[in-house]
């Protein structure tokens, strides 16, 4: 399975972006049963969890993005989305998708991610 994230770019603070991540090579059940998540790695920092689905299908977010970001998915397309509104400079990072938790047999090989750069 290959994870391909796209939709990043250079935007100004306050603007929006919508990221997509396709799990190509995955069959429907492999994608749909996983708790999919978005992660990000800011410059010079460790990768961190941004948003994810729970085992019940609910969504959770790290505090810094609550109310601004929305995670969603389309299981029939093996695609995960992240709608990012009111972007801040602190959101600048490479964004990745993968299963949650980020270890164990459910985790696929990490893709290249997509760069999001927010300017002031």
CA torsion, points 117, 106, 101, 89, in degrees to nearest 10? 0
| Segment 68-74 mean pLDDT | 98
Look at residue 28 in the predicted model and tell me its pLDDT: 75
User: CA–CA separation, 71 vs 39, rounded Å?
Assistant: 11
Counting Cβ atoms within 10 Å, is residue 54 exposed (0-12), middle (13-18) or buried (19+)? exposed
Q: What is the pLDDT of residue 107?
A: 93
Q: Which two tokens stand for residue 9?
A: 């770019």
| CB of 4 closer than 8 Å to CB of 77 | no
Per-residue pLDDT of 12-21, as tens digits, reads 999 999 999 9
Predicted local distance difference test score (pLDDT) of residue 25: 84
Per-residue model confidence as pLDDT tens digits over 28-65: 788 999 999 999 999 999 999 999 999 999 999 999 99
Average model confidence (pLDDT) across the chain: 96
């Amino acid at each position: 399975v290959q994870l391909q994230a796209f939709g990043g770019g250079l935007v100004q603070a306050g603007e929006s972006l919508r990221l997509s991540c396709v799990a190509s090579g995955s069959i429907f059940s492999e994608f749909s049963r996983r708790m999919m998540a978005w992660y990000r790695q800011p410059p010079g920092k460790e990768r961190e969890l941004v948003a994810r689905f729970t085992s019940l299908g609910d969504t959770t977010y790290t505090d810094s993005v609550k109310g601004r970001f929305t995670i969603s998915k389309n299981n029939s397309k093996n695609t995960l989305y992240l709608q990012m509104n009111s972007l801040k400079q602190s959101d600048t990072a490479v964004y990745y998708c993968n299963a949650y938790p980020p270890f164990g047999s459910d985790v696929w090989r990490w893709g290249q991610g997509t760069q999001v750069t927010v300017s002031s």
